[in-house]
Amino acid sequence: DMATWALGSVEAQKGPQSNPLNSLVFRTAWDALRSSGQLESHDWVVKVDPDAVWFPTRLREHLKAYMPGHGNGLDNVFLENCPRFHSMQGPIEVISKKGAETLGKEIQWCGGVWGTGEDQFLTKCLQKLGVGGTMEPTLLNDVYCDGYANCADSWKVAFHPHKSIRDFDQCYNASWGEELKKQRQQQR
């Protein structure tokens, strides 16, 4: 079961290169999540774009392997996923429970970054609030960040963009197929 909330209008203006200026929509969604009480029972908050292929079990393994608290959400951190821009790109945004709580309590202090894309807003706001970014370069394969698409990767968590159903399915199957091939090789 997944809880859902009505947010009202989620229409956003377009900025450079047709990027949505959706930080106000993001704040509305964040307020709904915060007031729901759902954060208390989770270690991490993860936002994934609908055109991103992603593997939740891989994310769990990454958090256990790379985070100082081994994925328990107590680290005051968000995951940067784009080495090229040293940033957290919007296709997958991962924030620890402690970082999410800080954001929820102090988001009103993030003025001056409204009217941007939600990933830019979120990164700048978290940094302003003292939530540290940790680079996790194997989190995302993004055409805009990496300059190429490689769905044949069995360790990346997310792949972006895959806007058609056919492209989405092909990417999912390619990555899942590589993971299965790797598992079979390890069993030999």
Take residue 169 and report the two structure tokens written for it. Answer: 């399915």
Three-state SS for 43?
coil
Predicted confidence (pLDDT) per residue in 2-37, tens digit: 556 566 666 656 655 445 556 667 777 777 888 888
The yes-or-no verdict on residue 1 having pLDDT over 50 is no
How far is CA 40 from its chain centroid? Answer: 19
Predicted confidence (pLDDT) per residue in 73-107, tens digit: 678 899 999 999 999 999 999 999 899 989 988 98
d(CA 12, CA 170): 30
Backbone angles phi, psi at 34, to 5 degrees: -60, -45
Average pLDDT over all residues of the chain: 85
Q: Which of 9, 5, 18, 48 is nearest to 117 (CA)?
A: 18
d(CA 156, CA 182): 13
Non-local (6+) Cβ contacts of 139 within 8 A are: 59, 62, 79, 81, 92, 94, 156, 157, 158
**Full-model pTM:** 0.86
Name the burial class of residue 95, with classes exposed (0-12), middle (13-18) and buried (19+) by CB atoms within 10 angstroms of its CB. Answer: buried
d(CA 25, CA 6): 12
Position 119 scores a pLDDT of: 76
Q: What percent of the chain has pLDDT over 90?
A: 52
Question: Other CB atoms closer than 10 Å to residue 30's CB: what's the count?
Answer: 20
Question: Other CB atoms closer than 10 Å to residue 25's CB: what's the count?
Answer: 17
